[in-house]
Amino acid sequence: MAVILRGQAMTVKESKQARTVDVFGRLAQTLAVVIGVIISVMSYTTSRRAEAIASQHEASRSFLELRQKYYLDTVRTVATLANGDTGSEEYKTAAKRFRDLYLGEMCLVEAADVEDCMVDFAKSKADLSDLDDMAKDDPRFIALNLSHALRDSLAKSWNLPETILDNSFVPAKAETK
């Protein structure tokens, strides 16, 4: 028996083979389109992730540059306070700068362990120990809390990861003699 398929006379067997080839051809086309869409979506997703990571690195870089600036300022200030003559102008200037750092700029960028060390340093200096014992209505205490709130706000708006904000370390223990 002859079957006419696409304008050609064929046997039933040839007709089934032609349909099978046609079905597999259409299936292959559909599969190629689906795979193409999946690859496009994966490429787009990968690209967006890379952009997000780059954006986070940029925000982190700005924060880390600011942190480095204030950390260097703090290092210079505490070195002067640790080694200086308490009556000198240099010492008085450094003590004022430490107070400013303690209540202001350092609160924006310091990790928790650095904050603890700042408190410990203030306690160790008689002329700075009042920083550790502030009443809740003391403007300095309020300024300290405001500075920390500003840091938290910056961290959220810059979407900074916790590892950048609080990269804790274990401070060295003082030797007892």
Among residues 148, 156, 95, 152, the alpha carbon closest in space to that of 121 is found at 95
Phi first, then psi: what are they for 171, rounded to 5°? -70, 150
**Is 169 a residue whose pLDDT tops 90?**
no
Answer for the pair 102, 118: CB distance below 8 angstroms, yes or no.
yes
**Is 5 a residue whose pLDDT tops 80?**
no
pLDDT digits (tens, 9 = 90+) for 26-75: 998 999 999 999 999 999 888 888 887 787 777 788 888 999 999 999 99
**Is 2 a residue whose pLDDT tops 70?**
no
pTM equals 0.62
As a whole number of Å, the end-to-end CA separation of the chain is 111
- Please identify which residue in the block is written with the tokens 């400013």: 100
